[in-house]
Amino acid sequence: MLTKKDHKRYADLLHGFAEQSIVVVGDIMLDRYKEGTVYRISPEAPVAVLDVEKERYATGGAGNVAKNVVALGAYAVLISAMGVGTKSQQIYDAATKEGYDCSYLFEDPQSKTTVKTRHIAQGQQLLRVDDNGYISDSAREKLLQNFESVLRVATGVIVSDYDKGVLSMEVVRKIKALTTPNIPILGDIKPNHARWFEGVDMLSPNEKEARAYINDLEVSVEEVARMVAEQYNSTVFLTAGSRGIFVSHCGDAVEHIPQLHRFEVRDVTGCGDTAAAVTMLAKLSGATLNEAATLANAAAAVTASKIGAVAPTLAEVLDMLSS
């Protein structure tokens, strides 16, 4: 339980989020949710039959990061590309409702939109179906032009890599070159692209990704965090689910910030995006490494207590800190 003084400190940090302006660049996708009830097992095969009662849409991938930033009171602009057609229009519609700036999100006729469809019954996810897309070279060129245009408003940059084609080694190289030293970059990235991000300010892998970064499945999670931070010359916030977050700065001693909050885990979808957004906003607002990890733990707990990739609000994070 936090002391009154500590609670005020975290409240002040959270309210400082409103002063931040985050550029999110990465893979946008459409999250589709088909929700209903299962009453029976199919006579054709031993599988549940979902009677769909409603369908809803949200933006996923980098869109979910931007959605989290806005829900926490900051400004976010998303830089990404997608295909053309109905699915892309659904992304636009969802992004508009979610409240972040999508004026630099564009359609490209040579690209295909990624869609993730989750089937949910009685509050439990039954199945996820992925229809993976791709991004053209010409779309990446336009994306970089857009990135350079919006940097003037940025206090921080989050690169959200879902390996759907928006990022390439050249794109990442130019993002790093264009971003001035006073604007920190946080990379939330897939292992096969990790080396592109050496030297960025912060990395936020989960444990499985971090082990792949260093190709080591045997050492302790603390040692994994230290090795990633040292090898990638970065501050690492390694998220480890119910165990919390392990923090190391450029290979320094590892600090373990345990997940102490009491909550029912309903769906871990989007927890990594939430942790990345909060980590960046907290550091920009003056948090120490431990304070940033503590806030990220609380925010991820809020997200995990809900169905789907749901962004927490400042009030919900404050309530979780008190739990």
Within 122-184, strands assigned E span: 124-131, 156-160
Helix or strand run (H / E) with residue 264: none
Correct CATH for 4-321 of 3.40.1190.20, 3.20.20.150, 3.40.1360.10, 3.30.43.10: 3.40.1190.20
Catalytic (active site) residue 101: no
How far is the C-alpha of 31 from the C-alpha of 270, rounded, in Å?
11
How far is the C-alpha of 204 from the C-alpha of 279, rounded, in Å?
9
Q: Which residues of the chain have pLDDT under 50?
A: none
Asked if 185 and 159 count as a contact pair (C-beta separation under 8 A), the reply is: yes
Residue 247 has what pLDDT?
97
Q: Tell me the domain boundaries of the chain.
A: 4-321
Residue 1 has what pLDDT?
58
What is the DSSP secondary-structure string of 8-43?
HHHHHHHHGGGG-EEEEEE-EEEEEEEEEEEEEE-S
CA distances (Å), origin 80, targets 23, 25, 57: 11, 6, 18
Among the listed residues 27, 31, 201, 273, the single catalytic one is 273
State the DSSP code for 183: S
